[in-house]
Amino acid sequence: SQQGEEDPQALSIQEGENATMNCSYKTSINNLQWYRQNSGRGLVHLILIRSNEREKHSGRLRVTLDTSKKSSSLLITASRAADTASYFCATDPNDYKLSFGAGTTVTVRA
């Protein structure tokens, strides 16, 4: 069963704007990861945030984690057409078995 749930399901923004998506999960976690998927194929790891971290940055990505609310957010700043993809959060309630949400589909319009 899926542990994580992304919100919104779909997001359409203009190039240069920021995109924010959220992930909620049900059980306690050790870490939370965000992945990107282009064209329904392989996933690319974006960032991992540990349960004792609150915020993490990687380039134009900013991830927050609130374990008290069991939620995380992914912010993409200054979006580009190449950011068009589906974004998934993944949690590890059982150490190695990542549990993925259904994803947020982001479309960046030129």
Binding site for other proteins (CB under 8 A): 2, 4, 30-31, 33, 35, 40-45, 48, 50, 88, 90, 92, 95-103
Q: How far is the CB of 31 from other proteins (least distance, A)?
A: 6
The number of C-alpha atoms within 13 Å of 60 and in the hemisphere containing its C-beta is: 12
Nearer to other proteins, 65 or 88 (CB): 88
**Least Cβ distance, residue 29 to other proteins (angstroms):** 9
- Backbone φ and ψ of 82, nearest 5°: -70, -10
SS3 63: strand
CA dihedral 29, 34, 37, 42 (to 10 degrees): -60
Closest approach of Cβ 20 to other proteins, in Å? 19
> 55 has which bridge partners?
64
Nearer to other proteins, 13 or 47 (CB): 47
